[in-house]
Amino acid sequence: MNWQRQYAERRSAAVVDVSFGDAGKGSIVDWLTSQRAGAPETGTVVRFNGGAQAAHNVVRPDGRHHTFSQFGSGSFNGWRTHLSRFMLVEPLSLSSEAAHLASLGVDDPLGRLSVAREALLTTPYHAAANQAREIARGRGRHGSCGLGVGETMAYQLANEHDAPRVGDCSDPATLVRKLARMRDYYVATLDGKGDGAMYPGDRAAGALFDPTSVPDPAQLAAVYGQFADRVRLTDDDYLAQLLRNEWVIFEGAQGVLLDEWRGFHPYTTWSTTTYDNIETALRESGANADPLRIGLLRAYTTRHGAGPFPSEDTLLTRDFPDQHNGTHRWQGIFRAGHLDLLLHRYALEVCGRTDVLALSHLDRAAQMGSRLQTTNEYVLNGRSIDRLTPGPFTDLDYQSSLTQILQTVAPVYESAGEDIPALVERTLELPVAITSSGTGTQHKSWRT
């Protein structure tokens, strides 16, 4: 199958990480968009989940490096960015990211950005509450990035009509009112004086939450108003127009194994990391689009932050540190392990249809040599486990039971061998269409 031709004929693709994240989504999106660089018709990268916690590293052949957070990773190639209503938008860090892109030669990043009015805003209040809660958990930390993404979703669920949205940035009076209510809500809730604590440990978190460390609502609203004046705010039909008229790449954030409903609770993200948001957007748009669905994984398995990781190897973590992922104040260390194809099979199963795989970090796997092993089977109390069975959708008790299993299993290892793409294809029963053996655009290629 000529997958390059498939990509060209469909004029759209979706890149989803079928790991714990950090497999190189930005690098793959940069490469896909580079194939249209300089063409009369480029396109738009649509961000469909997550928020400012994303960290998609792109290294250009000329050495320029940017960590994409909210902008689409096709920016160096002239592609525009659209933040869909499924994104959680943080205007302050977005403006800083735009400034860095401009310093690297990207022309008018904010002018090439469109944002859905219905997208939720992540504010400094969310971040402050998030950090207070995570510190209060002590040794029971969830591995949060500390940027308020989960807090944004939790607040919206508890206060649907008061949750600030991007469209409110054009209405200062409404935005000030919503921000003030949010501040007061957190003060009351975290002090245990409101309707009740949202989580265990909120009373301890209340001692750490300082609303005076955040700009007041009027100050924030003024800055957000300037943001709204610089970007294009869009309504529900905008994505349909994009899909009908130009090339579109959907760029995911985090990984399927961290999905809010399919990941291993509670060590997850408050975000839908599968294709589900894309499918919803396609249905709503009515556009006749069928993106090439690309599932991305590393040639070895990694995890950043707390949570179960059966194939973790502390010696691999020590001997092969990651260039762009290190110890993070909130997430903790970046952990490396052997290639866990059982976990990746689970991720693909809960994702639904995936057309092809992209396999990254083959150069790093080659450096590991014979030390790199693979597993497609666990043992638990003398019993073999060769499949993680997906549970009922939204059943977090079931996901917690999977977490307990993964924390106690023993992987059954065998050598990964020299031909990792062939191993992955045999085991996961999907073609590896894209391989990556380095950080740069020049290190990617279609595999036939």
The secondary structure of 25-42 as a DSSP string is HHHHHHHHHHTTTTSS--
Q: Please tell me whether residue 385 adopts helix, strand or coil conformation.
A: strand
User: Which pair of structure tokens corresponds to residue 248?
Assistant: 């579109």
Give bridge partners of residue 102 from the DSSP assignment: none
Q: Please tell me whether residue 433 adopts helix, strand or coil conformation.
A: strand
Catalytic residue among 22, 168, 313, 355: 22
CA-to-CA distance for 357 and 263, rounded, in angstroms? 20
* Closest CA relative to residue 142, chosen from 225, 201, 213, 220: 201
Q: Please tell me whether residue 115 adopts helix, strand or coil conformation.
A: strand
Catalytic residue among 56, 66, 142, 361: 56
Buried b (16+ CB within 10 A) or exposed e, 81-105: bbbbbbbbbbbbbbbebbeebeeee
Positive or negative, the CA dihedral 123, 127, 133, 134 is: positive
Give bridge partners of residue 294 from the DSSP assignment: 15, 356
Beta strand 292-298 pairing with 65-68:
unpaired
Question: Which residue shows structure tokens 């660089």?
Answer: 37
Told to judge if 56 belongs to the known catalytic residues of this protein, a careful annotator would answer yes
Q: Where are the beta strands (DSSP E) in 146-254?
A: 232-234, 247-251
Q: Please tell me whether residue 89 adopts helix, strand or coil conformation.
A: strand
Phi, psi of 302 (to 5 degrees): -135, 165
Q: Please tell me whether residue 66 adopts helix, strand or coil conformation.
A: strand
Told to judge if 17 belongs to the known catalytic residues of this protein, a careful annotator would answer no
User: Which pair of structure tokens corresponds to residue 358?
Assistant: 């992209």
CB 138 within 8 A of CB 322: no
Beta strand 383-385 pairing with 373-380:
antiparallel
Using CA atoms of 328, 334, 145, 115 in order, give the dihedral in degrees to the nearest 10.
110
**Is the backbone of residue 56 left (phi > 0), alpha (psi -120 to 50) or beta?**
beta
Question: Which residue shows structure tokens 């762009």?
Answer: 324
Phi, psi of 247 (to 5 degrees): -70, 140
CB 305 within 8 A of CB 312: no
Active-site annotation, residues? 22, 56
